Amino acid sequence: MTEKEKMLAGELYASWDNELVHERSRARQITYDLNRTKDTETHYREQLVTSLFGSIEGDYSLEPPFYCDYGYNIHVGDGFYANFNCVFLDVCKITIGKRVMMGPGVQLYTATHPMDRDTRASGLELGRPITIGDDVWIGGGAIINPGVTIGDNVVIGSGAVVTKDVPSDVFVGGNPAKVIRSVE
């Protein structure tokens, strides 16, 4: 397997691989350009985001600045909205459903590091995909950790740190995030 194939499969991989370095550089150039656009440059912004993301279904809105590792692992549904200063570390797939809203500073981390000291010292990395259902609202400053799946109709409180899967129809908050109550 190539290092990219290992990365996408969630296996240990060498992030310094030339192909991956090149692809991160490409994403950084696109986000650099995106983050310097004017509000009136909506068509140019759309071109940049379309060239960056893996797929976009329908309408979306993304407020710069925005940062990601690769971009092509990000897949968003119709009605997606991300406020200012979101960070998506997309070494693995990030799948976002329909009508998902994110406050400013939301961070999605698929990237992680080995727990074993010797393996971690080798520099190898790995990732776990993130899946977010439909009709989800993620409050500002929330962090979604690697491997988390969030159900449909979920509200995540501002500043929450989501470390475990979240079932549908609940409000979660805190660090680590816990179910606070159901939502109708």
pLDDT for 89-120, tens place per residue? 999 999 999 999 999 999 999 999 999 999 99
Catalytic residues: 113
Residue pLDDT, tens place only, 23-59: 999 999 999 999 999 999 999 999 999 999 999 999 9
Domain 3-179 fold:
UDP N-Acetylglucosamine Acyltransferase; domain 1 (2.160.10)
- Give the phi and the psi of residue 162 in degrees, each rounded to 5: -90, 115
Query: Hey, where are the domains in the chain?
Result: 3-179
Rounded to whole angstroms, the Cα distance separating 65 from 150 reads 24
Antiparallel, parallel or unpaired: β 101-102 and 143-144 = unpaired
Q: 102 and 138 in contact (C-beta within 8 Å)?
A: yes
